[in-house]
Structure 1
């Protein structure tokens, strides 16, 4: 096989794949805040994988909101296109997850086997016989694109040799054979929530350990991209998907080049935060932070991550859920005096003072937009009102349906790009959940 040739040209890698058109990729990732102007992102357009589960089983992988009888792919695709258009209108370079994965597979002859083996290790398929049946189907994929489609769509028993009468004649005779419609390997229905599996922190990434085991396979996709795609060549890693402790992307919030906020929640363990803090504070590869602020995240309804309760929208402005504001439990973590040690301090100030300390600004403003006890505001909080996507300082993509929140944002001078994502998120997150920034301009 001919080897890929890689040339460094200015600040771009130009990668030439055999029999493929030359394509350019940026050299590195870089995100130092949640408000710097976005330049590059990863997204994933929902596809046929969302239609593969029988209706009664769909709740296993996607929690439908009350009154939502099924996932309407046609409507979700319209919403995704509208969201994508907002990104492109702001000159954001948009990478599709599946395209990056195929390109990573094309980039190295080692990547395909690595992907299949890693994916099956995270698939919770019991025993060698079932593992091998799934492997046979994946290995038989006619191209890298076909392999990616199979991974996203899942594998039913009828697509394997396990469904053949000759393989298990007694099981067929006694009615104990596999149900052909059941899944040996389930679809990746939640992959369009791209913020959860991986984060960019500074010029490195975290590859997260997801709370729900079935979502671990999504992280494997990012592992392969990080390992083999030229876009991520030489990028350091701050957290390992193979670690023991849960960490999810919505609980990682970049404040500035020296400060990170983390959420301690039902999805992110204190032990994971300890591991990540040690790596970020003591740095390496030319990067380290000075402060990590750890927020104890309330667990209310469908809001489970820090980014559902706290959103920076401008240099000096934040949205803060009243539940977090009124019951703030925040810890400051800094380097200790010996190599590798950290110091932890419980902060007793009010939330505005803590936010000012984080961003090193006097007069930080928490935008008030309603009491959570009021019915319509409770609905907006649960509909991702704080899950705004900051495109640049004061320039926000927001949920169109959150009219009270959007009115308050308009009154404080924010530029708004409303989108309807009711089918996509079902209230489990806002625009920020559908977009993984790879590169933001520094403040």
Structure 2
């Protein structure tokens, strides 16, 4: 089976990654906000750190797939390649018909499919594609004359968790919160539509739906319970549409409860998985500031294709105990609960771990206080270097999309 994920902790078998590329080097200070970055990682070091991350997974028996490689296999077919180039240009909001033709020719001249995919990811600079004198000039060409790119780079791509999510044996293909990240989902669209290994995968959400939903907010707590963050990036309308699709419009779902966690709408609490991840059957890393009473929405299937939504206010520990049917829930606070330490390590995704099997997780080296506390709680950690990767504000879970976990 190409997709099978019913848990956050069952043994990881196959994962999708994206090795950072030239899109990182196309970041400049003046356009950081536009591209949703706070700093500029050093690419060579970031790639080295990412390779170490991938090797930890391989050393633990995980099959590692890369986004650009899957996509390049898809566009080996000339007809699909032509369609992709046309759609890519359209979604990049290139308006001048003469420019469209020049970009099409430029991309068609890249014969190696991996290089072509990488170029669409890294962004096309104006000095790569001389504008020349057009018979027709669009006002937008003149207004944006100082901007160096014809098509924007996609530096957030190495956070493969967000453009889609694996839910059971299906995927949720997302409409991203920001225009900047919206184009990232085009690769998943083509892979799950055309790649021989993945083309039969069913969807419970699609990128043309009108409401934002991102994968960092989607956690498979069990085969019957799905947690979804209502966050800066995932709207309540998106969660409600996902619930309706799961309960009423797809077959074979085991999920009977969806928990909507209302979390602060800020950069530091970007997604649910930045403040809360599962590390063992009964153990979770958390940001201490979500330990107090939470507003949680219990969503279940009602009659006549209506949702039953029950609002509850209770501590996270009690929510988990109730829905996982356990009375031994352990919450492991990022930074040990100390305010300064927890704020610092939360900023560097101390609560964002990737579980490769129960009780074994991948963590960033720089979150040394949280890592020590995890070990004290009986959790085995695999530490990866993180000085550059962490500058993108995402941890090991953010950088990985599990495709298959053991049942």
* Shorter-chain TM-score range: over 0.9
Distance 1:77 1:405 in 2: 24
Deviation at 1:418, TM superposition (A): 1.0
Distance 1:209 1:238 in 2: 12
Alignment of 1:17-56 (within 5 A): 27-56=1-30
2:303 corresponds to 1:329: no
> Aligned residue for 1:6?
none
Moved more, 269-278 or 372-381: 372-381
Alignment of 1:243-254 (within 5 A): 243-254=209-220
Q: Which has the larger radius of gyration?
A: 1
Deviation at 1:78, TM superposition (A): 1.3
Distance 1:49 1:133 in 2: 21
Q: 2:381 aligns with which of 409, 412, 416?
A: 416
Distance 1:169 1:304 in 2: 42
Does structure 2 conserve the Cα–Cα contact (< 8 Å) formed by 1:157 and 1:179? no
Deviations 1:241-264 (A, max 9, x none): 011111111011111111100000
Query: Does the residue aligned with 1:293 lie in a helix, a strand or coil?
Result: strand
Deviation at 1:113, TM superposition (A): 2.4
Q: 1:94 aligns with which of 31, 56, 64?
A: 64
Runs of 5+ unmatched residues, structure 1:
1-26
> Aligned residue for 1:118?
87
Distance 2:121 2:34 in 1: 16
Alpha-carbon RMSD: 2.4
Query: Does the residue aligned with 2:314 lie in a helix, a strand or coil?
Result: coil
CA gap of 1:74–1:266, structure 2 versus 1, over 3 A, is same
Does structure 1 conserve the Cα–Cα contact (< 8 Å) formed by 2:293 and 2:314? no
Distance 1:77 1:363 in 2: 40
Distance 1:218 1:261 in 2: 23
Does structure 2 conserve the Cα–Cα contact (< 8 Å) formed by 1:309 and 1:320? yes
Deviations 1:130-169 (A, max 9, x none): 43433332233324233213212322233336x224x369
Deviation at 1:104, TM superposition (A): 1.4
2:100 corresponds to 1:131: yes
Deviations 1:273-323 (A, max 9, x none): 111001112352422410000000123552210001111111111122222
Alignment of 1:235-314 (within 5 A): 235-282=201-248, 284-314=250-280
Distance 1:184 1:300 in 2: 30
CA gap of 1:411–1:371, structure 2 versus 1, over 3 A, is closer
> Aligned residue for 2:42?
72
Query: Does the residue aligned with 1:196 lie in a helix, a strand or coil?
Result: coil
> Aligned residue for 2:151?
185
Q: 2:121 aligns with which of 152, 167, 191?
A: 152
Distance 1:244 1:131 in 2: 27
* TM-score normalized with structure 1 length: 0.85
Moved more, 116-125 or 245-254: 116-125
Does structure 1 conserve the Cα–Cα contact (< 8 Å) formed by 2:37 and 2:392? no
* TM-score normalized with structure 2 length: 0.92
2:167 corresponds to 1:201: yes
Query: Does the residue aligned with 1:432 lie in a helix, a strand or coil?
Result: coil
Deviation at 1:80, TM superposition (A): 0.7
Runs of 5+ unmatched residues, structure 2:
none
Distance 1:79 1:431 in 2: 11
Moved more, 90-99 or 51-60: 51-60
Does structure 2 conserve the Cα–Cα contact (< 8 Å) formed by 1:384 and 1:427? no
Deviation at 1:100, TM superposition (A): 0.4
Moved more, 127-136 or 117-126: 127-136
Deviation at 1:371, TM superposition (A): 6.0
Distance 1:59 1:199 in 2: 25
Distance 1:384 1:399 in 2: 8
